[in-house]
Amino acid sequence: MRFALDALFADVPAEQVDEARDFYRSRAAGRGPSTLEELKEARAKRSAPRATDPPAIEETIEAVETRVPVRIFTPIDGPPRGVYLDIHGGGFYMDSAARGDKRNRELADALHLAVVSVDYRLAPEHPWPAAPDDCEAAALWLVEEADARFGTSRLAIGGSSAGATLALATLLRLRDKGAVGRFTGAALQFGTYDLSARTPAGRRITDEYFIQAYVGHVEDRTVPDISPIYGVLRGLPPTLLIVGSGDVLLEDNLALAGRLSAAGNDVELRVYPDSPHGFTGHPTAMARTALSGVESWLRDRITQS
Overall pTM surpassing 0.85 (yes/no): yes
The total domain count for the chain is 1
At 27, is the pLDDT very low, low, confident or very high (cuts 50, 70, 90)? confident
Q: What is the pLDDT of residue 221?
A: 97
Strand, helix or coil at 50? Answer: coil
Considering Cα of 33, then 168, then 269, then 143, what sign does the dihedral take?
negative
Q: What is the pLDDT of residue 109?
A: 96
Q: What is the pLDDT of residue 1?
A: 40
Share of the chain above pLDDT 90, in %: 91
At 6, is the pLDDT very low, low, confident or very high (cuts 50, 70, 90)? confident
Q: What is the radius of gyration, based on Cα positions, of the chain?
A: 18
Q: What is the CATH number of the domain that holds 54?
A: 3.40.50.1820
* CB neighbours of residue 220 within 10 Å: 10
Distance of CA 290 to CAs 10, 97, 163, 223, 266, Å?
Answer: 9, 21, 17, 31, 19
**Alpha-carbon gap, residue 8 to 107, rounded angstroms:** 27
CA 231-272-187 angle, 5° bins: 45
Read off the pLDDT of each residue in 126-131 and give the average, rounded to a whole number. Answer: 98
SS (HEC) of 72-115? EECCCCCCCCCEEEEECCCCCCCCCHHHHHHHHHHHHHHHCCEE
pLDDT per position as a tens digit, 166-223? 999 999 999 999 999 999 999 999 999 999 999 999 999 999 999 999 999 999 999 9
Eight-state DSSP code of residue 153: -
pLDDT per position as a tens digit, 68-107? 999 999 999 989 999 999 999 999 999 999 999 999 999 9
Helical pair 14-25 and 285-302, crossing angle rounded to 10 deg: 120
**Alpha-carbon gap, residue 83 to 36, rounded angstroms:** 36
**Alpha-carbon gap, residue 177 to 194, rounded angstroms:** 23
Bridge partners of 183? 155
Q: What is the pLDDT of residue 4?
A: 67
Q: Is the pLDDT of residue 61 over 60?
A: yes
Residue numbers of the domain that contains 137: 5-303
**Alpha-carbon gap, residue 215 to 196, rounded angstroms:** 10
